[in-house]
Amino acid sequence: MKKMKNLMKKLSISSLLVYAFALSASVASADPSEGWGYENPPDNVPDDIEAAVMNITNYILGFIAIIATLVIIWGGVQYLTAGGNEDAVASAKKTISYGIIGMVVAGLAYAMVIVVTQILTA
């Protein structure tokens, strides 16, 4: 059990580092002459608060969905390698259910953000 927690911790940290590296690479490659305050802002800069909130939400919930998918996959690997051990099977089922719960929570959070931004911008 401790090995799984250490593996999940390492997987989460490495995922965050990869995400941070990808985000910093895209920011570093941006052309500073096309920023806000110039005549032709880039196409991906949101014009209103609703678009900005949705952009941030999409990044965060996409990351959560990736983590939840990896948790489900890890639970499947645990289930396949349990070898009939009832404790290992129960742990694998619990891991899979946590991943599914994470997916459901991410979906509900996305729906909630859409509803709140629609109410606030109406």
Q: How confident is the model at residue 40 (pLDDT cuts 50, 70, 90)?
A: low
What is the pLDDT at residue 120?
Answer: 79
**Mean residue pLDDT across the chain:** 78
Whether residue 53 is found in the same domain as residue 24: no
Note the pTM of the prediction, 2 decimals: 0.58
Q: What is the 3-state secondary structure (H, E, C) of the chain?
A: CHHHHHHHHHHHHHHHHHHHHHHHHHHHCCCHHHCCCCCCCCCCCCCCHHHHHHHHHHHHHHHHHHHHHHHHHHHHHHHHCCCCCHHHHHHHHHHHHHHHHHHHHHHHHHHHHHHHHHHHHC
- 8-17: pLDDT as tens digits: 776 677 666 6
Range of the domain at 61: 46-122
Whether residue 17 is found in the same domain as residue 70: no
Whether residue 107 is found in the same domain as residue 58: yes
- 89-98: pLDDT as tens digits: 999 999 999 9
Whether residue 85 is found in the same domain as residue 118: yes
Number of compact structural domains in the chain: 2
